[in-house]
Amino acid sequence: MKCWKGPIPPPDIRTIEDMVPVLADPTCRETGPLYFMYRDLALTGQDRRWMEKHRIRYDITVISPRDLCGELAKTKGHYHPAAPSGLGYPEIYEVLEGSAHYLLQKKDLSDIVMVHASPGDIVVISPGYGHVTINAGQSDLVMANLVSSAFSSEYGEYERRRGGAYYELSGGNLVRNPAYQGVPGLRSINASNLQSRLPLPDRGLYELVGTDHLAFLNHPEEGNELFSLFQEA
């Protein structure tokens, strides 16, 4: 990966066959790898020790621009459990290459939002929101994330409801998932419009490793200023 200069472990691979439970077309018979997850990356031993001490993980995901039987390529979707404070663990993303749509939905379905993001944009997954990442372009989508290493993601609700509240089809149209009843309309956010307001240094995501700006990943009660930008935009 040209966006990463450090050691590269073997990726976890999500195949199209793995994705069938969350696709708009449950009869889809496409096959092959869809996206690659390079987990727990570190440039140096010092960075590795800092991340282990602070229970933070840096990952890079590469999503191919595949057609999923009429649906744009996407991740499976998941929620995060609650941290000790009672708030859900958050997550923070940076688009490195390509075009991304982040479909965020509050667990109680009171808010559903599509975040449009381009290279260099930072996107925050607030406590209580599940998320699906969609490759909205014609080339690989490459994105990085920082997240607490103290929990495992929860996929069950997305599998039970056959994906998120909306599907984005190959032509760009959005259709509601019939497994969700009475969901609100979809809000839309352009992440580029929020970057200057982020209470974070203007630098790449990995450059936050080793700083005191990431405490909110394990203590979400400390991230309200950051979360409010994506909840109120």
- CA atoms in the 13 A half-sphere facing the CB of 194: 24
Q: Is residue 78 part of a domain?
A: yes
* pLDDT of amino acid 232: 66
| Residue 98 lies inside a defined structural domain of this protein | yes
Query: Residue 4 falls within a domain, yes or no?
Result: no
Query: Is 3 among the domain residues?
Result: no
Q: What are phi and psi of 17, to 5 degrees?
A: -60, -40
Pair 167, 157: CB distance under 8 Å: no
Closest to 210 (Cα-Cα) out of 30, 44, 51, 42: 51
Q: Does 7 fall in a domain?
A: no
Domain interval for residue 212: 12-232
pLDDT, tens only, 29-82: 999 999 999 999 999 999 999 999 999 999 999 999 999 999 999 999 999 999
Q: What tokens were used for 33?
A: 């790898």
Total domains in the fold of the chain: 1
d(Cα 152, Cα 193) in Å, to the nearest integer? Answer: 31
CATH number at residue 219: 2.60.120.10
Residue type, position 29, single letter: R
pLDDT for the residue 1: 79
- pLDDT above 90: percentage of residues in the chain: 94
Cα 183 to Cα 50, 107, 114, 117, 180, distances in angstroms: 41, 11, 14, 24, 6
| Mean pLDDT across 189-200 | 95
With beta carbons less than 8 A apart as the criterion, state whether 79 and 157 touch: yes
Check if the beta carbon of residue 38 is closer than 8 Å to that of residue 59. Answer: yes
CA gap 179, 177 in Å, rounded: 5
Query: Looking at the domain assignment, is residue 219 inside a domain?
Result: yes
Interval 100-137: pLDDT, tens: 999 999 999 999 999 999 999 999 999 999 999 999 99
Q: Does any domain span residue 5?
A: no
Q: How many CB atoms lie within 10 A of CB 68?
A: 21
Verdict on whether the full-model pTM lies above 0.95: yes
Question: What average pLDDT does this structure show over 154-162?
Answer: 97
* Exposed e or buried b per residue across 163-179, where buried means at least 16 C-beta atoms within 10 angstroms of its C-beta: bbbbbbbeeeeeeebee
